[in-house]
A and B are shown apart, each in its own frame.
Chain A
């Protein structure tokens, strides 16, 4: 289905990543956002608050992130495409409702414009230190999808993708920006609405009385109904059966939690998005994402100028982690170099997928600025030895 032209600001713009993310949400059909102000993410909802009443929709500023992260889910069950936007401290508060969205299979998007942590940390400066929290932050076993844009253009394009994946898999999607990508201003091209593909909600067509909220038909993702349509369905964060009724048996728990996990894991290769360069002759591969991928690009160019056989793998999907790709590469490359604005998070995934077949070199950075390309280059040189 094509995007609703009312939400699409077709044209060539000069936007920062936060504003581009807002335009992506509007283009994807989001007509509801609940938020709570937090640097460096606030510009997303500031723009949404200004824009959405002109396209028909609602923004509400809630009393805290706990509220924002569940208000948006109420809106989803009322029929809206909805999202919230935050940064580290707020993301921490939202964890319970990421679990609720995963458990109730509420399609929605959480935008996290990452800043330095822990705690209040560095409100105005970048980090990429919420990557593991995005994956594991809520309690229990569950799966999410996480995307990492590295430019304002991608903040637009991938926000649409985030909403589409949320609808396709009925899962909360984490949109993992960082302060630099959020605040950098670049050219953003917004295509005409008829060139933007939007995934519709998996709404049930079953007649009243025949619909079961968590019945699946082979593809592992159940159909949804909205409040007020006459289905009289029940939704709970408790372990539930196909009727949505609480059931406290290990059997129902096993069936439900495995399905929540496998609906994403089994589709991991299809969900995986990455950008690659010079991998065919590479001995060393730099794996990076977000703003760090742009610093890494410079380091890779410097290394190649020194005739070092370096390739690039930029993660666009961080979760589910594209481990098939890493496994394939580790069959013939010598080493991976993983720079990130944290003291080692996604590097553990690279190491796990490489399974000892290729060495892994972390290039940690505590955040507050981006890497110096020389630091990444040094790691490449070391890895090439």
Chain B
């Protein structure tokens, strides 16, 4: 029997299957890549915590067999910030959607990047609010039909890699759910990075985005990702903005080093307080 166990199964709460995601949805694919990255990086699962916000991707927290927190809409990053600061030994992953992270949670996204909090953020970008029925998001490409832009969206979309690079992230990559190996590798790479890492995963929502925009089903979207993606490591993030059906620039855009928040805080306090500075003890107050 064990010969037939899927290698990612130990990372999942199999008692919660089947999951809620639609056929053709890319979120499950990203979870698979995440699990493979955990295997590859041999990370200690007991010190790994995962925090999600609200939305389809927000449900990831409920399916992984880790200390996992399904928080409020937009607030996964500040929750994760508290978790990381209270217990710096934890590896903290934020796993959420584009609407959650960049609209309602946009303020926290840029400030966590600015502070360089040591968090790994995986942002599954399906270009809409999917859980609530496919409404316009800050990431929706111009002219796209959504349930709240029935005549086409008139707003320009956020270019998330550009946003988080400008705010201070030390690692920024983008892949699509077609690029499963590259995505797993990027996640594993982010685990070796200290500081604010951001990985955007472009993912289909066949039920609500592709269907309304007559872009086919999940498989058609894979073909689109395959044909229109161009790997450009180190591409200037100002040039990686997306359009409805145009080229998708993918790759590792940013990989730089600067001290993370806790390193900076400790240095500042030690310098100013000298002998009076007391290192934060383990906070477990049981």
Chain A residues close to B by CB (< 8 Å): 6, 29, 31-32, 34, 53-58, 60, 62-64, 66-68, 70-82, 96-97, 100, 200-201, 203, 226-238, 245-246
Contact = CB atoms under 8 A, between A and B. Distances in A.
Contacts of B273: 53-54
Interface in B21-77: 45-47, 49, 51, 61-62, 65-72, 74-75
A360 B72 CA distance: 41
A205 to B, nearest CB: 9
Nearest to A64: B107
Contacts of A238: 70
A54 B75 contact: no
Interface string B66-100: 11111110110011111111110110000000000
B285 interface: yes
B69 A70 contact: no
Interface centre among B71, B79, B82, by most A CB within 10 Å?
A: B82
19 contacts: A34-B82, A56-B278, A56-B279, A60-B81, A66-B74, A70-B75, A70-B78, A71-B82, A74-B69, A74-B78, A74-B80, A75-B85, A78-B283, A79-B284, A226-B286, A228-B67, A232-B46, A232-B68, A236-B70
A62 B78 contact: yes
A53 B286 CA distance: 21
B16 to A, nearest CB: 6
Given A54-B278, A233-B67, A60 B85 contact: yes
Contacts of A100: 71-72
Nearest to B261: A60
Interface in B102-123: 107-108, 111
A200 B286 contact: yes
Interface of B: 13, 16, 45-47, 49, 51, 61-62, 65-72, 74-75, 78-87, 89-90, 107-108, 111, 265, 269, 273, 276-286
A228 B48 CA distance: 7
A63 B81 CA distance: 12
A245 B279 contact: no
Contacts of A96: 72
Contacts of B13: 234, 245
A50 to B, nearest CB: 10
Nearest to B108: A67
Nearest to B269: A53
A229 B284 CA distance: 10
A70 B61 contact: no
Contacts of B81: 60, 62, 67, 71, 74
A53 B278 contact: yes
Given A79-B283, A228-B67, A246-B62, A72 B82 contact: yes
A352 to B, nearest CB: 32
A245 B107 CA distance: 29
A79 B282 contact: yes
A153 B166 CA distance: 48
A227 B87 contact: yes
Contacts of B284: 79, 203, 226
A227 B283 contact: no
